[in-house]
Amino acid sequence: MTLPLGRGLKIRSMVHMAAEPIPNFWPMRTFIHHNPLHGLEDLPFPDAVEQGEALFHGRGFLPRADYQRLLAEGRLDRDTIEERVAEALAERPALQEIGGQDLLCTLLTERREPVVTKRTVADVHDVAGALQGRPPSDQAPMDVETLADRLRGCFPAERPLYEALDLLFDTRIGETLDELLIKTCLDFFDEGQSAWKMPGREQGLFTAWSALARRNLRLFLRGLHIKRILVQSETPEGIIAYILDELGIPEDVWQDLIVRELTHMHGWAGFIRWRSTASRYYWSEEYPADLVDFLAIRLVLALALIREHARRQKMPGNRAELEALITERPAECYLRHELFTGGVLPTHAEAVEDVVARGRPAEVAAVLARYLPAKRRAEGERQALALDDLAQLAGAPSTFRELDEERLATVLDELAAFEKREGMLWLEAMEATYRRSMLGKLRLTPPEPREKRPFAQMLFCIDVRSERIRRQLETIGDYQTYGIAGFFGVPVSLIALGKGSEDHLCPVVVTPKNLVLEVATGAEKIDTDLYSSAEHLLHDLKHSVLSPYFTVEAIGLLFGFDMIGKTVAPSAYNRWRHKIESGKPSTRLMVDKLTREQADSVVRALQRVIIVRAIHQEFGIERESITDAMIRELREAAMENHVGQTAFARDFALSESAESKFIRTLQDDYRINRSYAQMQLERLGRIGFSLDEQTYFVAQALRSIGLTEQFSRFVILTGHGSQSDNNPYESALDCGACGGSHGLVSARVLAHMGNKPEVRRRLREQGIDIPDDAWFLPAFHNTTSDEIRLHDLDLLPASHLVYLERLRNGLRAAMRRTAAERLQTLEPETDPTLDAVKAARRIQRNTVDWTQVRPEWGLARNAGFIIGRRHLTEATDLAGRTFLQSYDYRVDPKGRLLESILTGPLVVGQWINMEHYFSAVDNEHYGSGSKAYHNVACRLGVITGNLSDLRTGLPSQTVLFDGLPYHDPIRLLTVIEAPFEHARTAIDGVSKVKSLVANGWVLCVILDPETGRLHRFVDGEWREEALPSADIEATDQPDAEEIPA
């Protein structure tokens, strides 16, 4: 069957759309924090949470009992609960009449379970009867037609057919299907972990799999006739269309069905979704795969399993047969459904099991006649019991018994509606506590202007972990600190020394255009080793002007010779690699653009290398037998710059046809030709930043944080990262703004630009006058130990060396003080008076202890995002919970910098916040569960046990403490310090941010420094509110920063 082009494209489009709610999954080497409900962000938060429950079966809020505990600990605001209950009551008259306020508050704070229980066959009459102690009715609550209708409602057309079979026949097809598909994923997506390599992977997921599956004896022995399905079409789109038609699924629900199929394994699906669009990702370029492949395989396996069951056990094999079964045998289907969904009454389970096994209609009818009244009674009683319990707790035991049936029905409806939206109420109460505490600490009045410049200015990442050390630095010395997204606003793609791939050092919403190479300063020694053992390939490269700048791998990557080192000289490569890993040599970054001559020279050198290799390969002639001139001439011939016989052909007696064949081979197979050379030049053109770009990035970075004058002698750019052993989640602790990598490279890149005299000259023309004695110095903040190490000191001017010791001891002191503060959160039992030196030593230990499951708390407890000048937060202990983005509205009259901050750093902050939120409220579904059961899969992610979906989100050790949330799951409170209209215009100017605020994914407050007023976005509008004072926070509010005991 050949599918028409348009239909095939439409199916691709449907799969793309169906996958939108599924969050991307990035390989964990660079952990990207991500909102698991990112695909639903166009909905209001409560609605998205509800949809998330339907799609991913994850809870969007903590269980009530957890909130009750947080309330007892003072981490929740009781007044807000009461206010919200009163608001809810206003819309619920029946509850008001029965003393609703007390009742609902009691329900929330004292009853652990929901009061409204599930009823399938009992009605309010049964509940009232049970409440009033009337004897139960022995009538069946409904006829079999109604039962049949209900069953049809359980299995709509968009629900996969095997789910119906599993629930009616206990076939467990879904489970088998997941297992088979996971095995396929583990084989295909392996990135070098497994010893066995799946054959044919380069042809793509679907093709490779179908080739294997056609011959797979194991599948055949299970009775799965996969071949019969695969012959129907060559393409995955064709297979999908064939199977959905075979199953009798109407086309208007295909997309909904695909959503359900894909969300079954949203980890793998999210990974494939990301991978299929990742640019320059080695593994996807080598072994392509997309969700259409994945879906086609899933459907093939599903259909084969369904057919096998249908054939052997006479089950429905398509939608029409399922419909017919329900119509013909509704009573049996109902009992089956009860039995296999686990809803069956324990007292009747045995009888039901027997009767459905035998399947005799008369017996089934007899059992059903007994079962339904019993079920009805049980449901009525359970509901009555729950109501009575609540009434008892509220101190009015007869509350529900006195209601007539009509009122009871309304009360039950209203209670159900209230409990359904209860999560938001708890959430808002929790957020209110934090909001009052945080806002109460802010200081609106700017300090007196400084007379002299500070000893050092330090730029830190906005990351919440910078807050403590910034505060400590400012406390102990003359340091002025700033917060800026850790990639310093410069999107860089890095080829690191010894790395076989490009790393994007910027938020994932940006694709870097410029490439930076890391090169060893003392490269000769290492390179010589490698070159000598890979002589044939690399001999000539040594003579290239730029050879010291290029690592072998960088060349491979730039020019499309993948893994050149690994294939050509594996042993030398490994030695070299080991050297690099065991003690990273000192390196420089290539930040400046190559000149045209330099780029030409690199291309020429590379072509000559390739020609030497080609001669060896094609004729077996060694390098020593040919001369440089011959090589040059061959190159010219291949590039069509040379006519007539070449010296090479002459010397080795090649016929004219053999010569021209060889030239063609060079052009076609070895890619020595004009257009390829042009492409190589273009690729080299990606290296580095032009002077204009450099000036732009430095100016943008400095303006965005409001640092445009009074530059210190040291302007320290601090990148950050984490250091821990045996931790697949290490990258989750690195810099989110750098795409989950360390931030040091970004710091070095900006320092290089900022120190360049020509850049400074141009900046001066723009009004940013950086004095000659100001030096941009990169540094690295290790967030596990809080150590700050200075880098590129060999470039530091002599005039600055005398100040170095003062700088270092200042950093050391701040490190120790921060460590002492942080130790209390990691080891709450520690003596709070423990001196800072000892505390720092204990903290240091975590960086090398491979048994440590929690080397640092990372970004846990993040809760706020403050955009404004430092004086707002200076000298205030924010307990490492706020992102701090420096911003001075006075240097941003058009609001463009603010828009950039909102779309970049704030959006990344929101992802981090939401990842923590959902991992904390439902660690099993949205988080990745306990690290203790994790196994690394395919070198790209973790699975639980031997076979599971890829685990997404954060492990329990990151967000929970003794099984309860350590991270407060609340939405990010964003504070913007700027005139109200200025800030509001910026928010409205960026549709993404506007929608995040309007839909309640971030909470937003504008602090207007010119009027001293506070504006908060509540219920769809901006409201002016009083600024909470620090006094209120200190006396009335419980301490929100307390650590759970």
Partner 1 sequence: MNNLNLKPLKKLEIILEGEHQAFATDLLDRAGVKGYTIIGNLSGKGSQGFHEGHLMFNEDEVLIMIIAAVPEELVEPILEGFTPFFNKHSGVVFISDIQVSRLVKFKG
Give residues in contact with partner 1 (CB under 8 A): 4-10, 12-14, 16-17, 20, 255, 277, 485, 489, 491, 506-507, 509-511, 896, 899-900, 903-905, 907, 989-992
348: tokens are: 């009747």
Q: Cβ 692 to partner 1, closest distance in Å?
A: 13
- Backbone dihedral angles phi then psi of residue 933, each to the nearest 5 degrees: -105, 10
CA angle 172, 185, 563 (to 5 degrees): 175
Q: Which is nearer to partner 1, 444 or 510 (CB)?
A: 510
Q: Cβ 20 to partner 1, closest distance in Å?
A: 8
Q: Which is nearer to partner 1, 14 or 836 (CB)?
A: 14
Helix (H) or strand (E) run with residue 868 in it: strand 864-868
Q: For residue 519, what are the CA distances in angstroms to 530, 846, 910?
A: 15, 31, 35
Q: Cβ 487 to partner 1, closest distance in Å?
A: 9
Q: Cβ 509 to partner 1, closest distance in Å?
A: 4
- Tell me how far apart the alpha carbons of residues 505 and 747 are, in angstroms, rounded to a whole number: 11
DSSP 768: -
Query: Would you say the C-alpha torsion 894, 897, 898, 902 has a positive or negative sign?
Result: positive
Helix and strand tally (H, E) in the chain?
47, 19
Q: Cβ 904 to partner 1, closest distance in Å?
A: 3
Q: Which is nearer to partner 1, 18 or 530 (CB)?
A: 18
Q: Cβ 989 to partner 1, closest distance in Å?
A: 6
Q: Which is nearer to partner 1, 368 or 506 (CB)?
A: 506
Q: Cβ 698 to partner 1, closest distance in Å?
A: 15
Q: Which is nearer to partner 1, 429 or 492 (CB)?
A: 492
Q: Which is nearer to partner 1, 8 or 969 (CB)?
A: 8
Q: By CB neighbour count within 10 A (0-12 exposed, 13-18 middle, 19+ buried), where does 126 fall?
A: buried
Q: Cβ 492 to partner 1, closest distance in Å?
A: 13
Q: Cβ 873 to partner 1, closest distance in Å?
A: 23
Q: Cβ 491 to partner 1, closest distance in Å?
A: 8
Q: Which is nearer to partner 1, 485 or 557 (CB)?
A: 485
Q: Cβ 721 to partner 1, closest distance in Å?
A: 21
Q: Cβ 908 to partner 1, closest distance in Å?
A: 9
Q: Which is nearer to partner 1, 115 or 505 (CB)?
A: 505
DSSP 724: -
Are residues 860 and 799 in contact, defined by beta-carbon separation less than 8 angstroms? no
Q: Which is nearer to partner 1, 255 or 673 (CB)?
A: 255
Q: Cβ 157 to partner 1, closest distance in Å?
A: 17
Q: Cβ 744 to partner 1, closest distance in Å?
A: 20
Q: Cβ 122 to partner 1, closest distance in Å?
A: 40
992: tokens are: 């993404």
Q: Which is nearer to partner 1, 290 or 856 (CB)?
A: 290
Q: Cβ 697 to partner 1, closest distance in Å?
A: 11
Q: Which is nearer to partner 1, 400 or 883 (CB)?
A: 883
66: tokens are: 């957890």
Helix axes 45-56, 254-263, angle to 10 degrees: 80
CA dihedral 574, 575, 577, 583 (to 10 degrees): 150
Q: Which is nearer to partner 1, 278 or 796 (CB)?
A: 278
- Tell me how far apart the alpha carbons of residues 272 and 289 are, in angstroms, rounded to a whole number: 7
Q: Cβ 994 to partner 1, closest distance in Å?
A: 10
Beta bridge partners of 458: 481, 716
Q: What strands, in cross-sheet order, belong to the sheet with 972-977?
A: 882-886, 864-868, 972-977, 1002-1008, 1013-1018, 1021-1025
Beta bridge partners of 955: 929
Cβ-proximal residues to 753 (8 Å cutoff; 6+ apart), any chain = 490, 591, 689, 694, 695, 697, 698, 759
796: tokens are: 């530091």
- Tell me how far apart the alpha carbons of residues 904 and 40 are, in angstroms, rounded to a whole number: 19
3-state secondary structure of 1016: strand
Helix axes 319-328, 161-169, angle to 10 degrees: 30
DSSP 905: I
Q: Which is nearer to partner 1, 723 or 900 (CB)?
A: 900
Give DSSP secondary structure letters for 774-805: -EEEEEEEETTTTEEEE--GGGS-HHHHTTHH
Q: Which is nearer to partner 1, 445 or 991 (CB)?
A: 991
Q: What is the 3-state secondary structure (H, E, C) of 977-1015?
A: ECCHHHHHHHHHHCHHHHHHHHCCCEEEEEEECCCCEEE
CA angle 157, 184, 28 (to 5 degrees): 100
DSSP 449: P
Q: Which is nearer to partner 1, 415 or 701 (CB)?
A: 701
Can you list the pairs that 591-598 forms with residues at least 24 positions away whose Cβ atoms lie under 8 Å? 591/516, 591/688, 591/689, 591/694, 591/749, 591/752, 591/753, 592/688, 592/689, 593/685, 593/687, 593/688, 593/689, 593/690, 594/546, 594/684, 594/685, 594/687, 594/688, 598/545, 598/546
768: tokens are: 């940013």
DSSP 235: S
The closest of 1021, 999, 1008, 964 to 67, measured between CA atoms, is 964
Q: Which is nearer to partner 1, 704 or 873 (CB)?
A: 704
Q: Cβ 299 to partner 1, closest distance in Å?
A: 18
Q: Which is nearer to partner 1, 281 or 670 (CB)?
A: 281
Are residues 638 and 614 in contact, defined by beta-carbon separation less than 8 angstroms? no
Cβ-proximal residues to 423 (8 Å cutoff; 6+ apart), any chain = 46, 49, 60, 61, 62
Cβ-proximal residues to 351 (8 Å cutoff; 6+ apart), any chain = 367, 370, 371
Q: Which is nearer to partner 1, 836 or 997 (CB)?
A: 997
